[in-house]
Amino acid sequence: GQDIKKCRGCGITLQHASQDKPGYLPEKAWDREPVICQRCFRIKNYNEAAAVAVDQDEFLRLLGQIGSKHALVIHIVDIFDFEGSLISGLQRFVGNNPVILAVNKTDLLPKVTNWNKLLNWVQKQCKEHGLRTTDIVMCSAKKNQGFDRLLETIAENRGDRDVYVVGATNVGKSTLINRLIRDYSDLDQELTTSRYPGTTLDMVNIPLDDGRYIIDTPGIVYPWRYSEMVGREDLGVVMPENPLKPVVYQLDEGQTLFFGGMGRFDFIQGKHQSFTSFISGRLKIHRTKLERADSLYEDHAGELLSPPNRDRLKDMPPWTRHEIRVPKGSKCDVFISGLGWIKVNSDEGALTAVHVPKGVKVMLRPSLI
């Protein structure tokens, strides 16, 4: 029979029997080098991918194995979707192995960001989630920032451990791994990176010069993020690509903001005050009266209020309403996983509501910026 081969892009075991199953490679391409599956080939060449979900139980099983290994764990999270991409309960799975938290996509934060404050914020969040970190590194895989620090801290903490990289889908794990490969190993292997979640399918072992490995685990699919919910046509609109430009809205109670057709924020009750949006600059914000908001959405969803357009609207779950009371004297974000957040500096307090597709994680948190 033929050798078992693995795709050099995503690590999946290749097969030539079934075209719509993962790992398909036409038989005639079997001996080509480097060998990559048809899906990775498409992503690379046409920027097109079928969404493939990674089984969550399987992911937890993989994580569970790390506890008994001699490992250094790099947990990569997306600063734009911190709460949505943090693997809760990670500490339980990794046992006594050291964890380095790589906070990626810092290029998305506004230029004026106070980095010390940000680091404090991340430390506090980790504490709250029961995650003990050996180190926290802010980085941008895209802009190639923070990598020297990350590589340094990996070198300091690695000893003779294998390096396990874990994260949710779409946090920039592949981009980061590619960078690690370039710095650490002489293998010229490029993993598949794309905007579409769930690209990395199987464990990928990347040999390092010293005989140890970097192990890229599959990305866990968290269903509460916009990135898992919107079609790939709209992902580029919802996920910011450039630094966030906070926009300040002076609102009276009874006013509503629509974020394209992706979500809605109501200021229900409170004194006139300012709300600052941190969302993708490509989403148009419409301001309207709260009392008109329902009918505006009914009449204009998919058109004036888009994306998603009328077609893709049908594929989205219906909206649900989350009522959120911002306490007096607090500095908070109304956080919407994968869409962004609204900062509220409220001396007087405010009663608000967020309308988003059912399943999207919404919460109040201490303000990030």
Nearer to ligand GDP, 142 or 282 (CB): 142
269, 274, 280, 285: CA torsion to nearest 10: 60
Please report how close the Cβ of residue 181 comes to ligand GDP at its closest, in angstroms.
13
> Is residue 246 reached through a cis peptide bond, with omega within 30 degrees of 0 on the bond before it?
no
Which of 368, 363, 354, 366 minimizes the C-alpha distance to 335?
Answer: 363
* Cβ distance to ligand GDP smaller for residue 200 or 352: 200
Q: Which residues bind ligand GDP (CB under 6 A)?
A: 104-105, 107-108, 140-142, 167, 169-175, 193-195, 197, 199-200, 219, 241
User: Least Å distance between CB 37 and ligand GDP?
Assistant: 16
**Nearest distance from residue 177's CB to ligand GDP, in Å?**
7
- Residue with Cβ nearer ligand GDP (107 or 162): 107
Per the CB < 8 A criterion, the answer to whether 145 and 107 are in contact is: yes
CB 40, min distance to ligand GDP, A:
12
Using DSSP's 3-state secondary structure scheme, residue 225 falls into coil
In angstroms, the CA 224 to CA 214 distance is: 29
Looking at beta carbons only, is 232 or 312 nearer to ligand GDP?
Answer: 232
Burial code (b: 16+ CB inside 10 Å, e: under 16) for 13-51 equals ebbbeeeeebbbbeeeeeeeeebbbbbbbbbbeeeebee
Give the span between the Cα atoms of 355 and 262, in whole angstroms. 9
Token pair of 269, please?
């009750």
Strands 350-357 and 362-366: unpaired
Exposed e or buried b for every residue in 144-159, given b needs 16+ CB within 10 A? eebbeebeebbeebbe
Distance CA 121, CA 98 (A): 20
Nearer to ligand GDP, 54 or 324 (CB): 54
Nearest-CA neighbor of 350 among 326, 368, 319, 332?
326
Q: Which is nearer to ligand GDP, 156 or 241 (CB)?
A: 241
Nearer to ligand GDP, 63 or 171 (CB): 171
Cβ 92 to ligand GDP shortest distance, Å:
22
Q: Give min distance, CB of 259 to ligand GDP, in A.
A: 19
Task: Supply the minimum distance, in Å, between the C-beta of residue 277 and ligand GDP.
Answer: 18
Q: Collapsing DSSP states into helix, strand and coil, what is residue 130?
A: coil
- Minimum separation from the CB atom of position 8 to ligand GDP (A): 15
- 295, with CB counted inside 10 A (0-12, 13-18, 19+), is exposed
| Least Cβ distance, residue 146 to ligand GDP (angstroms) | 9
Of 94 and 150, nearer to ligand GDP (C-beta) is: 150
In angstroms, how far is CA 211 from the centroid of its own chain? Answer: 31
Position closest to ligand GDP via CB? 172
The first and second tokens of residue 153, run together, are: 């801290």
If the CB atoms of residues 195 and 322 are measured against ligand GDP, the closer one turns out to be 195
